[in-house]
Amino acid sequence: MPDDSPTFRRTRQREAIYAALGQAERPLSFEELLERSRQHYPRLGERTVFRNVREMLDEHSLVRVYLPGQPARYELPTFNHCPHFICRKCNNVFVLPEETQDILPEYAAKIPPAFIPEGEEVIIYGYCLECPKD
């Protein structure tokens, strides 16, 4: 959790959310985030997590990850450009450790003027260790 910044509120509820994300080491759906946060603060309510997630997104202390065919997921912000891995069996999403090259600057001149790019995402599909291919 960002510390010593007046922009970030420190509450037990937020500490639980940060702990859940930090321990997960992968982007979490809202349901996963709620369940894991409750392990740190059992009385945590769904509305409280929803409100905190919204505020944390606004203050950029949390990142929403949109992946094709997946619910929105949340992760802590990093300065790395790492690809995501989606398991075709369990649908879990993982962040791969190796950083990939930012290709947007290379393609900026090739993007039609009608489009306004906001970012890019490298996605790798396959099977995680817990879900061997049948």
Tell me the H-state helices in the chain: 12-24, 30-38, 46-58, 104-107
Our CA angle for 70, 74, 80, nearest 5°, is 105
- What pTM does this model have? 0.74
Say if residue 82 carries a ligand binding annotation.
no
Q: How far apart are CA 60 and CA 53, in angstroms?
A: 10
Q: What is the mean pLDDT of the chain?
A: 86
Say if residue 131 carries a ligand binding annotation.
yes
Per-residue pLDDT band at 16 (split at 50, 70, 90): very high
Supply the DSSP string of 62-126, one letter for each residue: SEEE--TTS--EEE---S----EEEETTT--EEE-SS-----HHHHGGGS-TT--------EEEE
Per-residue pLDDT band at 77 (split at 50, 70, 90): confident
Neighbours of 53 (CB within 10 A): 20
Dihedral angle computed from the Cα positions of residues 120, 122, 74 and 86, in that order, rounded to the nearest 10 degrees:
150
Instruction: Tell me which of 25 and 29 has the higher pLDDT.
Output: 29
* 9 pLDDT above the threshold of 70: yes
Say if residue 81 carries a ligand binding annotation.
yes
Taking only the tens place, the pLDDT of each residue in 115-133 is 887 777 888 999 998 998 7
How is residue 9 written in tokens?
A: 């509120």
The two beta strands, 73-75 and 28-29, are antiparallel
Cα–Cα separations (whole angstroms), residue 57 to 19, 46, 85, 130: 16, 16, 23, 31
- CATH architecture label of 12-75: Orthogonal Bundle (1.10)
* 45 pLDDT above the threshold of 90: yes
